Structure 1
Amino acid sequence: MSEELGESIRVREGDREYRVSKQRAVLKALVAAAVKGDRRAATSLITLSARVFGVADDEPENQPLSASDQRVLDDFIDREIAR
């Protein structure tokens, strides 16, 4: 898997083309989707960030949000997307 993700491919951003690893290309696509308002992509990105960068010891891991907390998060994401 790491060999496959490490292979380089050509990527185009705007009118610029360059080579990046497949892993970086996937991450760029995930970030772009999250920025455009894809909630699944945003959730995946937040989860991935927590795994890569760690979660503070005093924070509960993998705990589902309450309905109230989910609404607050959804409202925040909607406001940020609208900006």
Structure 2
Amino acid sequence: MSLLSPEQCRAARGLLDWTQEELAERADVSRSTIRDFENGRHHLHPATATQVVAALEKGGALLISSDEAGPGVRLRKPLP
């Protein structure tokens, strides 16, 4: 499984109440990178995916690996 699916990214942003711009700033990537990834226009480079995942996790999103029910996202307390 890849580090992050577009659907997980959108869901995590929704749980955190973040805009694409907020995620982009926190992950130190461009907004167009987030927009294009979430819209399925391209995959993230592994290093970029790591940055995005780290930002989401630091904000309090717990990314759940895919199983028979599919991948998921859960909200938890933000890391200090």
Tell me the TM-score normalised to structure 2 length. Answer: 0.30
Q: Which has the higher strand share?
A: 1
Larger Cα Rg: Structure 1 or Structure 2?
A: 1
- Relative contact order, higher structure (CA 8 A, sep 6+): 2
Tell me the TM-score normalised to structure 1 length. Answer: 0.30
